[in-house]
Amino acid sequence: MSESLCYNFRIRYYNYKPVPVTLPRYPLRINVGFLVHQPIGTSHDFTFEFPAVQLSPDFELTQFNGTARISRTPQGLLVEADFSGNLLLECVRCLDEYHQSISANFAELFSFRYRRDAESELFIPEDGHIDLALLARDYLLLEQPIKPICRPECKGLCFYCGVNLNETVCEHQAQPVEE
Ligand SMILES: [Zn+2]
Ligand SMILES: [Zn+2]
């Protein structure tokens, strides 16, 4: 009984694919207009949690969550954000897809539109809604590993026959190798 449970778990784990949930259209769009009229120093925390999000057409994450603290400053609204999620990547060793967890944090200032001297290129729109999706994507992209590896002990592919050595042992590997 326990063996069969274990077996099911393995199957489910290796076949895991993101659940086809309906993606929220603007997952990181928030209404910050009310903070514009608050005294300097006022802040508000927003939290985000989604089974899956698409931050841009080519950037999708599962198990997404994060927080954004928005603070009223003399120049505008300061965003201090922390985001994390899982990215579907291809392992450079075994070429299998796997879920890589990544996280990023950043601080960006959204300036009042009337300030000509604004150092930031981000402005608070007339409707008081800001969308953090592209910022989050840009910062999370920086955290994406250059050489993604599914797990530190990944054995990769056989140099001779190309089988995935995490799943099987081929004749080339079975031979004892003296090091
Ligand atoms: Zn691998
Ligand atoms: Zn082989």
Annotate 120-135 with three-state secondary structure.
CCEECCCCCEEECHHH
Q: What is the pLDDT of residue 174?
A: 66
Give the whole-angstrom CA distance, residue 151 versus residue 124. Answer: 42
Residue pair 148/89 in contact (Cβ under 8 Å)? The answer is yes
Q: What is the model's pLDDT at position 20? A: 57
pLDDT of residue 121: 81
Q: What is the pTM of this model?
A: 0.77
Q: What is the pLDDT of residue 130?
A: 94
Higher pLDDT, 112 or 44: 44
Residue type, 169: V
Give the distance (Å) from ligand 2 centre to CA of residue 175: 10
Instruction: Using the mean position of ligand 2's atoms as its centre, give its distance from the Cα of residue 162 in Å.
Output: 6
Most distant pair of Cα atoms in the chain: their distance: 74
